Structure 1
């Protein structure tokens, strides 16, 4: 039921039951995959804690000033606003990207980077560069929902691999590699979505070696990495010849800043740019200018610091409000992974929360194939509420439902 609902094939009405979506929805081209927007909120919802958005820390004012300052400067002849940018971005945009990405031993050059319209475009580019229709892509057994949708739309199949407290398990990865002969591995080693796991450097090296031994391309999603104060080196450091490192500014500065960065293997740079061009997805110049200005002026680092402090405070509030219940948290993460009591199932809990005006995501939304560990988990996006007061109200609803159980709702009739 949860899977069908996530595909837009059924809908539930509290007190009435679950209904098959009207045929007219499918006539408009819905075929299940991607038919329901992940962040679309039910009508009447007052508090949203479903999408992993960065919290509000004054981005609008800061970005407005940066954009005004950028527009006031004389435009270089090679960067006019009345033409498309070259695939991969201009030299200035790529130089700013290199400045932003550098940490520890990871320091890609400007010529190594493809600027994208968000990380999703970077991931899709990597999928198309490394796989063909019919190929298998391995991923954590719980993972970012959009990747499974992208893979299905492009005729690829995702196979889940066992995870633990650090993320993907090396032995399980090696077995899956032998069994499925995959073309690629999609992995989120920093603040894994949805569990917030952070992979140790030692395990990153193991993953790199397994992928190299089995000739598997690595698509490394690091959209949350900049939120970590003690950020491990990416897997791309240990296997650069097969790694596609992807990140963006949306999770660290603000969801509306749709700029991402892809660092493919050097021998695949031209292919990555050609894929971007072929899909007509060159980066909007205005957005790229804003991102470069924020990085060059130091505003991006400052905003990221504000974000870390705000997220840490929201985790403190969450831990206090839901004390006594099993939570998995990392002070840098935009979400918490909540284990429900035995009396609840995730999809029932989501419906009960929706009836009270709270939108949250069930663990089932992140599963690859079938996995029992999602049936009693909720991902709580603590960054999405616009204010701490909204967060507090949402947590109060969560606490009430956890304490009263499903028998106090009309869902079990």
Structure 2
């Protein structure tokens, strides 16, 4: 590939950040066949000079292209367009280059619960449920459409699962959803109109940002500290943006694992009441914390949409979540739920109710916490003296990288060694062009402790060797 492929005027005309425009230009060339497999890309500094951008911008563009599977790097040789049909290490002649294996050695990218016997416990519960169907004429999940928001029994079990401390909503106040994501989207639609702004932590759950954008809402960042949202920053942002709602993960904040104190929660509630902000509280990780602070929904019941599920504590494949909207908005929430397609799959909702009723859900939650403590011990052993923010029962850790590293370069370097990670940029709101020096390590995703040990060894080795060993910064 020649450097002329990256036309400065053409890239400048593309919308969005420059790194993405460069990566998209390359992607178009790959699809059209202009950039043939094995073609070497320009060195970072050469292309940066040609386009009038920083080396970091080009580096991030190449990393994005690598994530898309369009390029790969080889130490000492540079970055090349990847032949997706070639085997690892295949190729002949001048165009030969190293391609990555399709199977990764380890995955620590998605915040999933660790395997602690879910298949056996859920399988047994499902068999018991199916065995009861012949004795349920007219009441089987297959006989009719279920009521919007769930059956009385499903909602009663949801209320049992949600209750902690003084926060104990009635079953009649709840809506059963297809996971926390649907609960959050219901809250977004229930609190805002197209064009409205939703405030959130400067680092936050990326699916919410995508959901908000898909329905025409803006998302604006609010400064955070070691407890999460900073009340003064929220007050300022509410005044400056005229926002209608704020999304917050106050317990085991994703990705930093911060836990907001009760005092901080009360300060956030005060700001929300002052500005008439609706609060969308994502408490999906709450069950992983003993004696956690009171829910914001308990402190601000008239203005909080509380969302949670079984995904991070029991099994993510259940796709059953629970929403407690403000009482005055309950019928609106049900109407939005009906618009999604009436309700959730009743068989899965019944399974979730059985797991809560017979104690299996609590058993799996306790096992999850125990497994996370053991995995955090492995993390501390593997990454001694590193700057890591986390909690012993959190399904992830927030690793600060040395100054020499940038997160997207670290992620790509890890990928070349067979490890999938999530970069700090993935959680940023607003300033997507800003470089990050953090990595989220998902400790629950590895299916075995051996896989976790492999992933941690790769991370440790990269931290010791530094980016100089990565061809992506050549």
TM-score clears 0.5: yes
Q: What do the CA deviations read for 1:287-315 (whole angstroms, capped 9, x no partner)?
A: 10110000000111111000000011101
Classify 1:314/1:296 alpha carbon distance in 2 versus 1 (closer, same or farther; 3 Å). same
- SS of the aligned residue for 2:317 comes to coil
2:244 is aligned to: 183
Q: What SS does the corresponding residue of 1:256 show, helix, strand or coil?
A: helix
Contact 1:311/1:333 (8 A) holds in 2: yes
> CA separation of 1:108/1:398 partners in 2, compared to 1, >3 Å: closer, same or farther?
same
* One of 248, 253, 271 as aligned partner of 2:309: 248
What is aligned with 1:25? none
Aligned 8 A contact 1:247 1:260 in 2? yes
Per-residue deviation, 1:230: 1.6
Asked if structure 2 preserves the Cα contact closer than 8 Å seen for 1:2 and 1:347, the reply is no
Answer 1 or 2: higher relative contact order, Cα 8 Å, separation at least 6.
1
Aligned residue among 62, 65, 69 for 2:121: 62
Deviations 1:202-237, CA, capped at 9 Å, x for gaps: 110111111011001000000000000121111111
Partner of 2:363: 302
Cα distance, 1:72 vs. partner?
Answer: 1.2
Higher helix proportion (structure 1 or 2): 2
Matching residue of 1:312? 373
Change (3 A) 1:259 1:409: same
1:390 is aligned to 451
In 1, the alpha carbon distance for the partners of 2:467 and 2:141 equals 59
Residue number in structure 1 paired with 2:290? 229
Task: Please state if 1:121 is matched with 2:182.
Answer: yes
Q: Deviations over 1:73-119 (max 9, x none)?
A: 22263443132221100111001101111111010111010000100
1:201 corresponds in structure 2 to: 262
Residue 403 (1) aligns with residue 461 (2): no
SS at structure 1 position matched to 2:312: coil
Q: Tell me whether 1:11 sits opposite 2:65 in the alignment.
A: yes
Determine if contact 1:105/1:237 at 8 Å carries over to the other structure.
Answer: yes
Q: Which residues in structure 2 correspond to 1:4-403 (within 5 Å)?
A: 4=20, 11-12=65-66, 13-15=71-73, 17=79, 43-73=102-132, 74-75=135-136, 77-280=138-341, 282-370=343-431, 375-403=436-464
Cα 1:260–1:2 shift into 2, 3 Å: farther
Unaligned runs of 5+ in 1: 20-40
Report the 3-state secondary structure (helix = DSSP H, G, I; strand = E; otherwise coil) of the residue aligned with 1:275.
helix
Taking the aligned partners of 1:374 and 1:315, their CA distance within structure 2 comes to: 27
Task: Find the aligned partners of 2:449 and 2:173 in 1 and give their Cα distance.
Answer: 40
Contact 2:105 2:455 in 1 (8 A): no
Deviations 1:316-354, CA, capped at 9 Å, x for gaps: 110110002111110111000000011110000000000
Q: How many residues align structurally?
A: 392
Bigger radius of gyration, 1 or 2? 2
My pick for the range that moved more, 298-307 or 77-86, is 77-86
- Length-normalised TM-score, structure 1: 0.91
> What secondary structure sits across from 1:411 in the alignment?
helix
Counterparts in 2 of 1:403 and 1:2: CA distance versus 1, 3 Å:
farther
Structure 2 residue matching 1:107: 3-state secondary structure: coil
The secondary structure found in structure 2 opposite 1:14 is strand
Contact persistence 2:79–2:471 (CA under 8 A): no
Distance 1:18 1:200, change over 3 A: farther
Give the secondary structure class of the aligned counterpart of 1:179. helix
Structure 2: gaps of 5 or more residues: 1-16, 28-63, 82-99
Cα separation, 2, equivalents of 1:324 and 1:43: 33
Query: 1:380 is paired with a residue of what secondary structure?
Result: strand
